[in-house]
Structure 1
Amino acid sequence: MHQRIISLLPSAAEIICLVGGQPEMVARSHEDDFPSTIQHLPILTEAKTRFTTSADVDRQVSEALSQGNSLYNLDVDQLKALQPSVIVTQDLCNVCSIDLVSVQRVASKMDPQPEIVTLNPTSIAEVMESITLVGTAIGHAKEAAKVRADLEGRVQKCKDVAAQVKMDNPDYKPKKVMFFEWTDPIYPAGHWTPEMIEMAGGVHPINPPGIPSKRVSVESVVAIDPDVLIICPCGLDMAATRKEYDIMMEKEWFRDLANKATTVALVDGNQMFNRSGPRLVECTEWLVMLLHNRPDFEPVDFPWERVK
């Protein structure tokens, strides 16, 4: 049976395409921009917030959520007209994408009702499981199994490098990483990113693996005395990330941290780390490259720059 698939989540679109479902996609969310071959598809969502500065976006988001409002508009009429058989969405973060309840409300009134696949991974293992889940739902289970095996093999290679480094050096101290998922207020990395840092042989003392990102104080960031600073604000491209970095460098506490750190890197937080999709494997490989000076692990076309 020919499926009619809608993705309302950037990581879902990446998975659908990777397992061979792209020809059956009929629409996407406004954030689904990878791979570039899906950009002609109709867009069913739009954000109500507009990016200005980190602090201002935080204010916009807090106000909307405190009033019980969704941060996104959903084009209900177009969604119904497309008559999807499968909709892939999420229920992990109401700030990141359209919320599940809004999607369920529409789907329940459709005939026939589409299958809703909800992805809520909080770890690398669960991201891998979501590849199987999507592949099965859209009739590409075999391709999904192959993709998953390949990605899991690459993750294992990253872990092997970290293990070898520890074996070769009995006095090995893992580098302390401070990963900024948002800069003002400060949100350190959450969910799968601290786990990936540990897989690559580092530590993320401020927020351990599996815990959602939550607001922290400047004092707690300074207290961990990080060796590595990674600035990768969720949803921001390289140009916007550079601006946020420049704003941070105006603050004395951050300048001191950056001066003491051995490595400072800026990463495109729209494409990398903050999407719970297959490219998290590339991000883990990039961490191996960064923490162990292993250029052979640097992924092709990875959007980042080294400040120090």
Structure 2
Amino acid sequence: MSALWRRWWLGALCVALLGGMPGLALAQTRITDDLGATVVFDRPPQRIVSLLPSLAEIVCELGQCQRLVGVDRYTNWPASVQALPQVGGGLDPNIERVVALRPDLVLMSVSSRAGDRLRALGLKVVALEPKTHADVQRVMLTVGQVLGVPDAQKIWRAIDAAVMAAAQSLPPAARGTRVYFEVNPGPYAAGESSFIGETLQRLGARNIVPAALGPFPKLNPEYVVRADPDLIMVGQRSVDGLLQRPGWQALRALRQQRLCVFTADESDTLVRPGPRMAEGARLMARCLADKAPARPGARP
């Protein structure tokens, strides 16, 4: 009888683990996204469409790239995602393409206009938008919770430690450098309250764009002339027209060639609030080490 009892008990246990016995169903995961919506998952999603590059990068950093079945047109890292179907822009994706991929989760930014339509079609949608270092940590933990990845906090700690190491690598002379960081040719700048601004602060630099102007304000080019930064950081897409902006030929940073120009790939790394923030910190630290004046803020 003991052998029969053992077989019955093992069979019952298997049924319970599969959710087949009343009251013993698998535990649900319940999260609240950045729009305040509560989303419930009976099991970790296996088919994910991401409509924001930083969210796709977080999924992959958590070791779950294989769950991605579609991405927006701007997602390009890691290289493996470039083979995935693209569903258009993240703000206004092709709804039919998204639905055709049969996702059990759509990750998107809070500013995407597709959320209501996708929810109306019965899809689970989670809106998340990291804007600061704390946001990146929170979003990574939330995505890890949804995907059933237990070590998301450990992965975040490694990223944070790498940012700290980049700061510690800088020579003392580079600290206090007044920096203008241009995100795109608007010109849109990275202000103190942005995740880029937070990285600059951790590197000991001073941002010429105060938090009061917002995280990524569009500036009048004359604002930069008046601020006269020690060092300018821009992407390759911005550099060609800098000297044509009114008054920019007089900027000390341009006259003294204290300008760091990032490639398109480097710019993607720098402007996406996600797992590559550590690499972004290293790029900015290298720029500061190479180009910062001996006495930051000093006038000629």
Q: How many residues align?
A: 243
Q: Which amino acid counterpart does residue 157 of structure 1 have in structure 2?
A: A
1:290 match: secondary structure: helix
1:260 CA displacement = 3.7
Show the counterpart of 1:303.
none
Structure 2 counterparts to residues 7-26 of structure 1, below 5 A: 7-26=50-69
Task: Give, in angstroms, the shift of residue 293 of structure 1.
Answer: 4.1
TM-score for the superposition, normalised by structure 1: 0.71
- Please list, as runs of the form range in 1=range in 2, the aligned pairs for 1:94-173 lying within 5 A after superposition: 94=111, 99=112, 101-110=113-122, 113-114=123-124, 116-142=125-151, 144-161=152-169, 165=172
Q: Is 2:191 the partner of 1:176?
A: no
CA contact (8 A) 1:227 1:261 kept: no
- 1:200 and 2:203 matched: yes
Residue by residue, what CA displacement relative to the aligned partner does 1:17-51 show, whole Å, maximum 9, x if unpaired?
1111111111111111111101111111248xxxx
- C-alpha distance in 2, partners of 1:86/1:275? 21
Distance 1:173 1:35 in 2: 33
Deviation at 1:252, TM superposition (A): 5.5
Aligned equivalents of 2:246, 2:289: Cα separation in 1: 29
Does 1:245 pair with 2:239? yes
How far off its partner does 1:209 sit?
A: 8.7
Q: Which amino acid aligns with 1:186?
A: P
Q: CA deviation at 1:73?
A: 3.9
1:32 to 75, 99, 124: 75
In the TM superposition, residue 152 of structure 1 has moved relative to its aligned partner by: 1.4
Between the aligned partners of 2:257 and 2:211, the Cα distance in structure 1 is: 22
2:187 aligned partner: 186
Q: What SS does the aligned partner of 1:265 have?
A: strand
- Higher gyration radius (CA): 2
Q: 1:121 to 1:261 in 2, by over 3 A?
A: farther
> Which runs of no fewer than 5 residues in structure 2 stay unpaired?
1-42, 292-300
The amino acid across from 2:88 in the alignment is: T
Letter paired with 2:87: L
TM-score by length of 2: 0.73
8 Å contact 2:136–2:273 — kept in the other structure?
A: yes
How far apart, in 2, do the equivalents of 1:288 and 1:247 lie? 25
Q: Which amino acid aligns with 1:145?
A: Q
What is aligned with 1:305?
Answer: none
Name the Cα RMSD after superposition. 2.6
1:297 alignment partner in structure 2 = none
Tell me whether 1:79 sits opposite 2:87 in the alignment: no
Q: Find the counterpart in structure 1 of residue 225 from structure 2.
A: 222
> Deviation digits for residues 149-178 of structure 1, max 9, x if unmatched?
21111122234446x83xxx7xx8601001
Counterpart among 46, 49, 63 of residue 6 in structure 1:
49
What percentage of aligned pairs have identical amino acids? 23
How far residue 214 of structure 1 moved from its aligned partner, in angstroms, is 1.4
* Equivalent residues of 1:181, 1:231 under 8 A apart: yes
Say whether 1:283 aligns with 2:286: no
Are the structure 2 counterparts of residues 133 and 289 from structure 1 closer, same or farther at C-alpha, using a change threshold of 3 Å?
same
Q: Classify 1:15/1:265 alpha carbon distance in 2 versus 1 (closer, same or farther; 3 Å).
A: same
What SS class does the counterpart of residue 106 from structure 2 fall into?
A: strand
